[in-house]
Structure 1
């Protein structure tokens, strides 16, 4: 019986026999239900370089798992082929292989260099942007390792879990590695070996934080360093420097720092930090000829239009804030009345639930129609700001009343 290529398989074609290599294998876990096993999943590749996702359901996983190893080649028969319609697809293929109780697998004992030992679907920056909060496909990325964060432990869904942040130089996209994936990096390797280190991170999902794209690992995520493939060689050859230092960072995150009787206190670390780094989160009411809504500016956008970092502004305002914490700095007030061209990030809360707090991802044009905001202008717009605050409080009160009424109805 001749082998069927992965491009030739279909739901209508029975008794196919494929010869494939298991590239990657992982347990799919139901984190919402006590971390129960859902399935054993794999990515397979044939001699044509075609990738396909294969899955073995929970009740059969314990039978087939001992027979399968990453990197090995197998002949597989009597499997099901179904359309790949779900989310979190690790490869681009309209079909998916499903093992059943009569599926037969036979390990190929010799060497066969015609079947690739590794294969990825690397996403460029445009693809990454298009997949933000779209979990149809998982995303593979490649780049020079810039830094490694320390492993942290945080509580999520009532469980302690590990996380580690790394960053790749290309487009400087931060990647958060969760659970066991955080431990796929050997710290000593980077300390004792010279770079550059070209890192491949597979099967991530794309999110945003403060207007920047970020990647987050999944159960399917694997890490590879300086793999012997053309894509890695091409990136390494672009860097003529002999050694790249991989920066080691303290645990990342945004813990709240409180001033307790003149002493800084971090509730998350249960410690007294030596210093705290201020950051921006500015909520602004904006309008054009069609209506008004609310935008949220974080550090990059806020710094661009205020021309000061949050740290600089905090130091300038220190004495004033001691008198009244509610005073809005004049540097922020001066943006009132100016017109800007904003690029926004819309997430599911905006698109699905109609929330109107839109995150500004970039300011494309500064002060399209500049209005000189001297001190008299600031005072002129102070009334507008007070009206916005009153409207915000009123909206919160109405929303609260609606929720209370719903509870009464239920």
Structure 2
């Protein structure tokens, strides 16, 4: 599926994919209840420099506050296109993007360095020959949770629990199968059956990626969604000189100018909170 530009979004075009940078993020609150937010809002900018506001309802704000960051590029799927608000908006657009917990297809793009690989549970696992899910021994055969009983011998499949860091901190990125193979350029099967191979000791060719910086496209790890541990699954890895397709040069040249232009509007929205006497209860209801 190709990416849709922000200016092409309409109420009828709900099932699509967009790739944007988050320029600004803020919380919308009411003047009298500043600790009770209405929504978590952000300003999106696409590759053509077109801007559009996006909003996260207060019930989902805590979840996305830890996942979204200013300046990073994201790919969004399964979002809603809704009419813009009459108030609390920083750009004059007919529509806005609504992000919710159902936006489960969200992918995040970031740049980071692999500083280590945790081999506590090994650097590969026994995978189902068909679906590459983990298998368990079942009598003389194997059992895959997805495929069921399987008499086909499992294969070694990469699972690199990598520690990745940037200037803001570090977290765990899990790199599976083909994505890891494309990075290392050697199949896990070949390394796993080599002489003196140890599942819990990294082969030298795998160690070579430690210390290297890449652009990662990642998704939240649903296996740890109920814990406080921040972990992500890597969907794709790109070289650090990757350029966003489209009018990238023009986008990069004009991005700073665009952001400077809208920052005053963002501040104006935030300053509304301080003008208590000029906002009626009716207006407050309209803003929700």
| TM-score scaled by length of structure 1 | 0.30
Larger radius of gyration between Structure 1 and Structure 2: 1
Instruction: Report the TM-score, using the length of structure 2 for normalisation.
Output: 0.42
Greater length-normalized contact order (CA 8 Å, ≥ 6 residues apart):
2
